[in-house]
A and B are shown apart, each in its own frame.
Chain A
């Protein structure tokens, strides 16, 4: 059925509106993209845990709210807790896994890599990943620590005696857990594909422009899942050269991965949420040494490979917007959380398509009139000339009153017409 499917004129119009904005052109109207996220549970009257546990129900609610609000792009849940549960993931918490049934996904930083691990890491990141890092970060993968040095596989015939390690009960457990996690991921991917098909049939695109390999700024990659924020900031002060060398390693690993991912899947994007480079964490001098050159290099390499990176500028970037003008024009997309959005338009409006504009606190606590007023201002000033997609500041609408979303969508359609 999918093969014969012809997108409806409504779908085509919406997709074009989004594509025009991404290409820094002026569409017929400012597109609005709604990432409903955990709002689906609120709206459907079920717990967040039930939402994750019942994909069919989640999809029905997504269809209902999408038809209700009629946005230009729509998405529901974009991740599943199942692999984390199966692997005993120590770095994430989900409703029903580390949190109560009404919890909200959270990332729990740990120092899985210690400062003294840098030499081992730099010597062979892959061996460190499999035999040291995974056993620390996932309870069910502890057995991987018993594997022999991965590099010994290079010894061909002479290394075959090492295969006995695979029979160790803990190693067996680890591989079984990985197989189950892989199956759970395949199941989830099928659910996502079904969701995309049904939403397309209804006439609504998903957030295809942020689909693709999930990667991070080299600094964040070293920070989020390896050293933790405390560790990484002490590394900057104590062992800067090692940190810089490690960043070069993970830059290459990620670029290679993102390009291969794009070739395998046909997706032309990469999603890059930024964390520790925003205002307030480090000085501009530190930013220029540890964060920006590596990120810029990575983005440029991706663009050269035909990928359009979707960068989520979390937090506030007001003091460092000028750097973003160094990026290739029209080749990246930027979603902004709490930066001064009018200033963002002024500085990077001709460098990248901008997403954002509606602060979650206003949606949460504002009146429909206040939301309408803000929407008008954003449409007039950030929407000016095109290159803008209206979204909430976090692409998630949990805890927001339905009438406020309605006021926001209606105002965008009213004031967003070019």
Chain B
């Protein structure tokens, strides 16, 4: 029946996915088995997204299904099954910019691909990035920004991380207008055009 659950999720049948989750539990399946099926389903959706076969609406609905299923499983789980993580990433939209949509999608895809993401939200000052990187020991930072106005705060954040002696931390940037010109301008290590690019950059740095 786990295959049926995988199919329901990948075919975007939201009601069936929840129904099957409950049936699986009633039939004695363990929460970790069900989480495994969810992971397999999300891998399929992630691949489709990467291949340009699935888009944001599918990602949003998949996210909703994951939240609903996790909600059902939580009370039954003795302790959170901790997945092995590829690495820690600190993510946020830079100071002065309040756009969160692209950042959220990047965070979702990074999490899906095995990274532990600390999302600082929007309008994040450089010192907050520095502080969080120190606290978490993250080796990767993702800076998001949609506005032309975001270029300078990005540059300042990169500089603040360097000044704080965090030279081994890799920094990637992304957002509506970001390109190689802006990467150079800000001093970031890489830029990504979309969420999958962010995943592939991060995986490259994590050595996987």
Chain A contacts to B: CB under 8 angstroms: 93, 99-100, 102-104, 106, 108-109, 229-230, 233-234, 236-238, 280-283, 286, 315, 338, 359-362, 364-366, 393-394, 396, 398-399
CA of A100 to CA of B149, assembled, Å: 13
With A104-B147, A283-B55, A398-B148 known, 10 other A-B pairs at CB within 8 A are: A109-B101, A229-B56, A234-B64, A286-B57, A315-B176, A360-B148, A364-B185, A365-B185, A393-B177, A394-B148
Minimum distance in angstroms from B128 CB to a CB of chain A: 16
Determine which residue in B56, B151, B184, B185 has the highest number of CB atoms from chain A within 10 A of its CB, and name it: B56
* Residue contacts A-B, CB under 8 angstroms, 7 given: A106-B97, A106-B147, A109-B101, A230-B60, A234-B60, A365-B185, A399-B148
Whether B181 lies near A366 (C-beta < 8 A) is yes
Tell me which residues across on chain B come within 8 A of A104, comparing CB atoms. Answer: 96, 147-149
Cβ-neighbour of B101 out of A103, A229, A394 (below 8 A):
A229
Tell me which residues across on chain A come within 8 A of B178, comparing CB atoms. Answer: 361
Whether A280 lies near B194 (C-beta < 8 A) is yes
Minimum distance in angstroms from B147 CB to a CB of chain A: 5
What total of A-B pairs shows CB separation below 8 Å? 87
CA of A293 to CA of B57, assembled, Å: 19
Tell me which residues across on chain A come within 8 A of B14, comparing CB atoms. Answer: 237-238
**B156 at interface, CB cutoff 8 A:** no
**B44 at interface, CB cutoff 8 A:** no
Whether A398 lies near B57 (C-beta < 8 A) is no
Whether A282 lies near B57 (C-beta < 8 A) is yes
Size bin of chain B's contact surface: 20 to 34
Known: A359-B179, A364-B182. A281 touches B148 (CB 8 A): no
CA of A230 to CA of B104, assembled, Å: 11
Scoring B residues 96 to 131 as 1 if CB is less than 8 Å from chain A, else 0, what string do you get?
A: 111101000000000000000000000000000000
**B16 at interface, CB cutoff 8 A:** no
Tell me which residues across on chain A come within 8 A of B101, comparing CB atoms. Answer: 109, 229-230
Cβ-neighbour of B60 out of A103, A233, A315, A338 (below 8 A):
A233
Tell me which residues across on chain B come within 8 A of A229, comparing CB atoms. Answer: 56, 101
Tell me which residues across on chain A come within 8 A of B61, comparing CB atoms. Answer: 233-234, 237-238
Tell me which residues across on chain B come within 8 A of A99, comparing CB atoms. Answer: 96
Scoring B residues 42 to 56 as 1 if CB is less than 8 Å from chain A, else 0, what string do you get?
A: 000000000001111
Chain B contacts to A: CB under 8 angstroms: 12, 14, 53-58, 60-61, 64, 96-99, 101, 147-149, 151-152, 176-179, 181-182, 184-185, 194
Closest 4 CB pairs of A and B: A233-B57, A104-B149, A365-B185, A361-B181
Known: A398-B149, A399-B152. A360 touches B177 (CB 8 A): yes
CA of A282 to CA of B57, assembled, Å: 7
Tell me which residues across on chain A come within 8 A of B99, comparing CB atoms. Answer: 106
CA of A99 to CA of B147, assembled, Å: 14
Known: A93-B98, A364-B148. A282 touches B56 (CB 8 A): yes
Tell me which residues across on chain A come within 8 A of B194, comparing CB atoms. Answer: 280
Tell me which residues across on chain B come within 8 A of A282, comparing CB atoms. Answer: 55-57
Tell me which residues across on chain A come within 8 A of B53, comparing CB atoms. Answer: 283
CA of A366 to CA of B151, assembled, Å: 14
Whether B60 lies near A396 (C-beta < 8 A) is no
Tell me which residues across on chain B come within 8 A of A230, comparing CB atoms. Answer: 60, 101
Minimum distance in angstroms from A149 CB to a CB of chain B: 34
Tell me which residues across on chain A come within 8 A of B97, comparing CB atoms. Answer: 106
Minimum distance in angstroms from A44 CB to a CB of chain B: 17
Determine which residue in A103, A315, A338 has the highest number of CB atoms from chain B within 10 A of its CB, and name it: A103
Known: A100-B96, A106-B97, A106-B147. A237 touches B177 (CB 8 A): no
CA of A102 to CA of B150, assembled, Å: 12
Tell me which residues across on chain A come within 8 A of B64, comparing CB atoms. Answer: 234
Whether A365 lies near B181 (C-beta < 8 A) is yes
Whether A237 lies near B181 (C-beta < 8 A) is no
Whether B57 lies near A365 (C-beta < 8 A) is no
Whether A365 lies near B55 (C-beta < 8 A) is no
Whether B98 lies near A108 (C-beta < 8 A) is yes
Tell me which residues across on chain B come within 8 A of A283, comparing CB atoms. Answer: 53-55
Whether A399 lies near B60 (C-beta < 8 A) is no
Cβ-neighbour of B55 out of A281, A359, A398, A399 (below 8 A):
A281
Whether B58 lies near A365 (C-beta < 8 A) is no
CA of A236 to CA of B178, assembled, Å: 29
Tell me which residues across on chain B come within 8 A of A361, comparing CB atoms. Answer: 151, 177-179, 181-182, 185
